[in-house]
Amino acid sequence: MKKNIPYTGFLLLLIFYFLLPFALSAQTDSLSPGPSKHRIVIFAPLYLDSAFDATDEYRYAKNVFPKFINSGLEFYEGAHLALDSMAKEGKELEVFVYDTRSARETLEDQLNKPEVNEADLIIAHCTGNEVWTFADAGLKKNIPVINTTIPHDGGATANPFFVIINPTLKTQCEAIYRHVQKYYSINPIVMFRKKGTTEDMIKSYFDEFGKVTMSVPLKVKYVDLPDSFTVNQLRAHLDTVRRTLCITGSLDAGFGKRLATQLALLNKDYPSSVMGMPTWDAIKDFTKPEFKGLEITYGTPFYNAKTDKISQSITNHFNNIMYARPSDMVFRGYEVTWKFARLLLQYGKDLSSNLGNKQNKVFTDFDIQPVLNKKNMSLDYFENKKIYFLKWQDGIIRSVN
């Protein structure tokens, strides 16, 4: 492959020529005699119909690739690498892959296909408006569904077949609350907010945890800020003697970055630490000199230092074959597929009773716990409760729990 062909464009071509035969061969295998294999169905937004025309020609120039296609393709590539590794171990599975952005079939059409009805496991890279559709399909078909991307339950209730890998905002806020209790309980604590529905939810979660905590509740001061707030509007709520913990009460990464920037300017005379939200995982500017001296912490469920052998192998594969670095979505596709495919091979039809099994760790420690309905204490769904806390300090990031 020439180096001037972008990785994503090459990956799309690779998937187009590999993906469809892969699904077709799985259908053929299901008709052949011999022992039945466990069946996995993977759903991802691949946008193949948007990228290729009716004559299978790529719609864009070789050096043009729309960014909206990246996430699903990278997730699929990670899943494919995991399945390929398992195949080399002699692990036999039937795998079907569906493009949720198909122009020919709706998601409902795909979920009603015979091969999906007979699946043992569904792995979904989904969007917010698809969560309930996947959860409902799993419940009706008695098939475990792994929601790998969206931190939302989609309104799922009484569904022992639904698993949320990316923790909900409520779980994230509870983890932040407990982390603050552990490390900052004696500090002055201020939550800086902007107006908004999500911001009100974050505040309500903090208030709720303060009422039920078994430890000493936090004394949090809530401060609403205008969109164009300045250092003067922050200074009034900081201390010159004691270090103030400043919690960002918004998922808006732009608001959070502005807050951290302003606090960094004040840090010498008004020492502070900053607690961010999970959306801060996408902020890479904290390595810049202007943040020097400011302690910045945020939580994430998908921390991977990429120093283990599997991560290095994946990175080398991308470097050598695609002349690019693998994204975090590649690693997520790999680890979710590896973990739950191996649990399926181990427990078979009893997989739904072992969704919280902690075996087969790849990069991160999933802590999948049942979420109970408070009204009747029945199981609503399963959710990953593990949150890693990462700290940026002077351009270096490290895990602190």
State what percent of residues in the chain have pLDDT above 70: 87
Annotate 40-101 with DSSP letters as a single string. EEEEE---HHHHB-TTS-BSS-TT---GGGHHHHHHHHHHHHHHHHHHHTT--EEEEEEETT
Which residues are CB-contacts of 101 (< 8 A; sequence separation ≥ 6)?
45, 46, 47, 48, 49, 50, 72
Q: Count CB-CB contacts under 10 A for residue 33.
A: 4
CB 96 within 8 A of CB 23: yes
Annotate 325-375 with DSSP letters as a single string. PPPHHHHHHHHHHHHHHHHHHHHGGGGGGGTT---S--SS---EEEEEPTT
Q: Which residue has the higher pLDDT, 218 or 14?
A: 218
- Tell me the residue type at 38: H
Q: What pLDDT was estimated at residue 295?
A: 95
Please report how the helices 70-88 and 7-31 are oriented relative to each other, as an axis angle in degrees rounded to 10.
50
Q: How far apart are CA 294 and CA 276, in angstroms?
A: 13
Band (pLDDT 50/70/90 cuts) for residue 367 is very high
| Angstrom distances, CA of residue 57 to CA of 63, 77, 87, 166, 367 | 15, 21, 31, 36, 44
Q: What pLDDT was estimated at residue 39?
A: 96
Domains of the chain listed by start with CATH number: 7-167+306-366 (3.40.50.2300), 169-300+389-399 (3.40.50.2300)
Q: What pLDDT was estimated at residue 48?
A: 78
CB 12 within 8 A of CB 73: yes
Q: What is the pTM of this model?
A: 0.89
Q: Which residue has the higher pLDDT, 267 or 25?
A: 267
Task: Taking residues 342-346, report their average pLDDT.
Answer: 97
CB 225 within 8 A of CB 233: yes
